[in-house]
Every structure is written in C-alpha cells, then in structure tokens.
Structure 1
Amino acid sequence: MTIIFGHRGAAGTHPENTMPSFQAAIDLGADGIELDVHLSKDGIPVVIHDETVDRTTNGTGYVKDLTYAELQQLDACFLFPEWSGKASVPSLEQVAEWIRPLNVKLNIELKNDRIHYGQIEEKVISIIGKYTLESRVILSSFNHDSLVACYHISPHIERGALIHERLYQSWEYAKTIPAASVHPYYLSADQSMIAESQAHGVMVRPYTVNDEQMMKDLMKAGCAGFFTDYPEMAVRIRKSLKNG
C-alpha cells in the first residue's frame, strides 16, 4: 500500500506546519504527517519550514535569532486568515506529545542544509526517544552529512535522503548513508527509478505530489509513499483504486 503523508500537515487547506494543519491531515485519513524543524535562539526544536518567519507568520527575522517564547507569540495563519489567532509555531515536543497516542507516522525534516544548527540531531532524537516514537519516525534532510550523524546517534531510526535532482543508482547512494529510503522531487521520480530503487530494497517517497493523475500513477506503480498538500485527494484516490 502506498503510504500518504500530509505535507506540512494539510498545507493546501490549512496553515502549514501548525497543529490545526496536522490534525486536519490525520482527520482526512493521512497515514502520517511531514514537518520541518529548525532550532530557536535558545536551542528548542521548532516546527517551521523557512529559515525566517517572514513568509508564514506576522513576524520578521531568522528563526535562529528568536527565542521559543518569542516564536510562540507569532500568528502563523499564513494564507488562511480564518485561522488567525489559532495557529502558532509549535515546538517539536508539542507535536511529539500529540502524535504519541495516534497510530500514524511522522517524517521530520531537519532544515540544516543552509544554516548549521549545533546538536540539532541530538536534540531531535532525544525528543523522539522521550515519546518512544523511534519505530514511527523517519528523519529526512537535504543535508546528508546530518543523516550520517543521525545514523551514528541512533541507527535504528529510519533515515530518508531528500534529493532534488535524479541520481544515478540512487539506491546505491542511499546505502552509503545508510538510508532506507530516498525522497526525490516528484519530477525526478519516474517509474523506472521507483521500480529499480525498491527492487534494491530502498523505498521511494516523492515530494510534493498534488496532481491527481500523478497520485494514481504512483499508487499503481507500487510506490512506497509520497508527500502531498492535499491528503484528502490522495485518500480518495487510493480508496477508488482499491474498490475499482
């Protein structure tokens, strides 16, 4: 079965990387959620996509220059004014506590490919362990050195290598990290790449898949999973293919 991850929650219909978005994704039937983590000025793993707060909140400045308390004061409603005052920047621990009793997966993207955050791997993995989420978490990053660091800290937590361009024999590259999965940009993941990678034991989960026909094609190809801003569409398509 192709696993459906709500990208930044249900980012097509809710403020991305916020608790309302994560809850919506699960309510809509997603098998898991994907989120992004930076470190605040005081070293707290916080859930936000960009290096700055400018795009998704009513604040300005770099995440690394704001304390967690300062980040909590921001309105993160983004493109959805109806959520104003109800959507804030959550901490990773807040999400971990919420997801613990739920039977869903959690993909944590470490956003350290542009800014170096000291000990982000240790801090994130500590929270994963505190809430016993090791078997349900995938750690992903474009910074593959960071994934190697994660392997040395906690080898039993799955790692997914994010890649933007197509790699020659991506399954062989993934094994050097080692990573159990590759998460390619959707245009870099054709059926041969998916089939060959998965035949060699490396799962493929493209991002960000919002086209209905592409969702159908990935499911028919037996793709391990994908990330989408519209989990409700993906769930509907998967049900129709199953019933058809």
Structure 2
Amino acid sequence: MTLLNGRVEVHGHRGARGLRPENTLPGFAHALRLGVDAVELDVGLTADGVVVVNHDQSLSAVTATDTAPAVPGDPLFPYVGRDIRDLTLAQVKTVDAGMRRLGPGQDSDPFVLTQLPMPGTRVPTLAEVCGLLHGLPAVRPAVELKTDPGWPDDEIRRFVAAVAEVLDDFALLSRSRLLAFDWRVLVEAHRQAPQATRVALVERKTLVPGTEWLAGLSPEDPAAAAVAVGAGILSPEHHLVTSQLVHDAHGLGLPVAVWTVNDPADMARFVEYGVDAIVTDYPDRLRRVLTAYGLPLPESCAPAYLP
C-alpha cells in the first residue's frame, strides 16, 4: 500500500446516493455531516444558461417526477425525459427529485432500498451547492461536466465557462476538481480555469480503439494519456483498476481516484492497491473500512443548510 499523500480520500458520489436522494442539497448535506473530503456532483446547462445539478443530460424518470408545468399550457410539459439544455431553470425547478424509482425493465435497485425518500426536493443549481460548501475549506467540490463527443466545441467552451464562473463567484475554483469523460472539457478547463484540478474520467466504453472521448489521445495507456491532456488525477471505473494501473499512475505522479465502490471488501482491496481516493455512494461504509486500516478520516461538517 503506497499512498501519494499518506491517506485515502472519501468522495461522496452524487452526495451520498445510497443514503439520500442523489445530487440534491439534502444528499450533499448528509455527506458533509458524515465526513467527506469531496462531494461529487454532475452538472448540465439549461436553455437559459443556468448550471444545474443532474446526473444525466436529460431528466430521468428514475430520479425525477413531474409535478406541474412552469406556466399553464407549456408545450414542453411533461419535462421528464427531455434534455436539460432544452429546458429553462423554471421548468427544471418544477421537478420533484426527492424519490428514487425503478427504471424501465428493472425489478430491483439497491438504492431504492437504502435511500431515504425526501419528497418535494428540487433539482439544485450549482450556485446553491456552492452556497452549501462555501465556508467549508476542507471539502472540495468535484464537478463532472456531462457532455459527449457529439457536442460542438463551442458548446463545450460555453459550458466550461459557465461552470467556472459559478465556482469563481463563490471563491471555490482553486479548490475545485473538474471531471469529464469527454476530455475536450479538460482541455478547455485548462484554458479557462487553470487553477482548478482537472480529473480524467475513464470507463471501458471510452477506452476502445478509435475512441472519440479522449480528445484525440490513444487509450492504450490511460495514465500517460491523462498526463498528456493535463489532468491532475486519473479516475477510472473500478473494473479497470489493478495494482499495476495504480503503480503506473503513481510513477507519473498521478493520483488515482476509483469509482464507484460500495462493497467494503472492494474498498479494502483498493486501499491495498494504494489508490488515493475512493468514490462511493456510502461514505459511512468507506469510513469504517478506513478506520480498520488506521487511516485518517475527514471531519464531519455542519453545513449552513440543514434539511
């Protein structure tokens, strides 16, 4: 076990998705109370240019429920299933994001069983989340910008600029991490927000030959490609992480943040590999594993927002 910084960071995935509704203020507040080093969240840009927190590029029926149209007779209603960038903030804010449901064809979902429903919870803006984190210097925002290779370059530039502006407004940009599978986002973030740490996300589908996800770089050596794109952290899905990958990344001075790990046995295995951060839906479980290893834990925080 070789850790670059002598500890394993606890990253709350979408807040604490296993315990509270994902990507919501109550979820982030709960993660902070448990004690995390970073809160991971996903963002999109509305039709009227507001950065909102939502995992998919569209509103998913798994996490969102329509209530009423933003204005009577709105032709875009119902909103669930529509792309975030086709909806205004007012339309997005009508959606109830406080209860998880089974998706089409699903007969089970572990999060439905463990997540506390909080009906009436709305989709937050990035600014609202920044307000929660402002004044908590020990906690980093880990903001994933949801794009794909089909996005035009000018939309990538506009999206990165909007995210950076919000973070900068709250004096959070220098301690933020900007995450992306579409590495054009990282290239643009280097240009527009060089003070933020850039995190190169990879999963199996983005590492296939001829991939369009890596800004023209080869997927053969993900760690070397991440360094070449200017990333400060490599963040692979857990299926990809081996002790050799961690060793190779560390040899390049690149920390490794593995996602999304919810089984305590897997958490322990990745600690043994020497990963630098573990992204989890259950920060409480990870804290118990780190305690068993005698590793330091992030302190619990009392955010201003207490649902």
Shift of the alpha carbon at 1:156? 2.1
Residues 125-170 of structure 1: CA distance to partner in whole angstroms, max 9, x if unpaired? 1111111112321101111011101101122211011100364332
Letter in 1 for 2:42: D
Aligned to 1:3: 9
CA contact (8 A) 2:19 2:116 kept: no
* Structure 1 pair 81–220 and aligned structure 2 pair: CA distance change class (3 A): closer
* SS of equivalent residue, structure 1 residue 182: strand
Aligned to 2:35: 29
Letter in 1 for 2:34: L
Determine whether 1:93 maps to 2:127: yes
Query: In structure 2, which of residues 85, 88, 102 is the aligned counterpart of residue 64 of structure 1?
Result: 85
Aligned to 2:215: none
CA contact (8 A) 2:200 2:234 kept: yes
Determine whether 1:151 maps to 2:190: yes
Shift of the alpha carbon at 1:3? 0.4
Shift of the alpha carbon at 1:208? 0.5
* SS of equivalent residue, structure 1 residue 209: coil
Determine whether 1:138 maps to 2:177: yes
Determine whether 1:19 maps to 2:25: yes
Structure 1 Cα separation of the partners of residues 49 and 257 of structure 2 = 30
Shift of the alpha carbon at 1:115? 6.1
Shift of the alpha carbon at 1:19? 0.5
Please identify the structure whose Cα radius of gyration is greater: 2
Determine whether 1:181 maps to 2:245: no
Aligned to 2:119: 84
Aligned to 1:120: 159
Aligned to 2:107: none
Structure 1 Cα separation of the partners of residues 47 and 178 of structure 2 = 22
CA contact (8 A) 2:99 2:117 kept: no
* SS of equivalent residue, structure 2 residue 223: helix
Aligned to 2:73: none
Letter in 2 for 1:138: R
Determine whether 1:40 maps to 2:50: no
Question: Is 63-72 or 165-174 further displaced after alignment?
Answer: 165-174
Shift of the alpha carbon at 1:44? 0.4
Determine whether 1:220 maps to 2:272: yes
Structure 2 Cα separation of the partners of residues 126 and 115 of structure 1 = 24
Structure 1 Cα separation of the partners of residues 25 and 203 of structure 2 = 27
Shift of the alpha carbon at 1:206? 1.1
CA contact (8 A) 1:169 1:197 kept: no
- Structure 1 segments unaligned to the other structure (5+ residues): none
Query: In structure 2, which of residues 146, 160, 163 is the aligned counterpart of residue 111 of structure 1?
Result: 146
TM-score between both structures, scaled by the size of structure 2: 0.75
* Structure 1 pair 168–54 and aligned structure 2 pair: CA distance change class (3 A): closer
Structure 2 Cα separation of the partners of residues 231 and 114 of structure 1 = 32
Residues 93-117 of structure 1: CA distance to partner in whole angstroms, max 9, x if unpaired? 1111110111201110000116634
Determine whether 1:168 maps to 2:203: no
Residues 192-211 of structure 1: CA distance to partner in whole angstroms, max 9, x if unpaired? 10121012111111111111
CA contact (8 A) 1:182 1:202 kept: yes
Letter in 1 for 2:15: G
Give % identity.
30
Aligned to 2:247: 195
**Structure 1 residue ranges, 4+ long, deviating more than 2 angstroms after superposition:** 114-118, 165-171
User: Greater helix percent: which structure?
Assistant: 1
